[in-house]
Amino acid sequence: MNCPYINPTVQQCENCPYPDCVNDDLSLAEYREDINPQEVPREVRMARERANRYAIKNRQANRERSIKHYYVNKEKYNEQATQWAKENRERTNALARERYNRDIERRRQYQRDYRARKKSEVG
């Protein structure tokens, strides 16, 4: 049987529910070695380390720059989101239905509490 996951994580392989999974013949160490190759060129490794050091050192400045960029371009991002929602109407509606039905009893309880609160404020 083929693995049910496209790119399985280590945890998915460790806890695989399928007894005849293709990846069963690999040990955990072999699997980790396969998904994390050690043959990364030195230049790439050094560039990654340099980028990580910069990101850690400038975390707050990067966060502020990102927030500022968002607020400057907020209208553009909202238009993009609206356009995407229009183009993917079925998908958007399916997600909304799933979200609504996920915990319907909690939603109903919230509505009952809200109505009771409003009724007590009026009367």
Counting the structural domains of the chain, the total is 3
- Indicate if 48 and 81 belong to the same structural domain: no
Give me the pLDDT at residue 39, please: 76
- Indicate if 55 and 85 belong to the same structural domain: no
Does position 121 have pLDDT exceeding 80, yes or no?
Answer: yes
- Indicate if 88 and 116 belong to the same structural domain: yes
Domain residues for the domain of 6 are 1-39
What is the four-CA torsion angle of 13, 15, 19, 21, rounded to 10 degrees? -10
- Indicate if 77 and 117 belong to the same structural domain: yes
Q: Which residue has the tokens 């993009």?
A: 80
Q: 26-85, pLDDT tens digit by residue?
A: 666 766 666 666 677 889 989 999 999 999 999 999 999 999 999 999 999 999 999 999
- Indicate if 88 and 60 belong to the same structural domain: no
- Indicate if 35 and 53 belong to the same structural domain: no
What is the Cα–Cα distance from 111 to 102, expressed in whole angstroms? 16
- Indicate if 118 and 104 belong to the same structural domain: yes
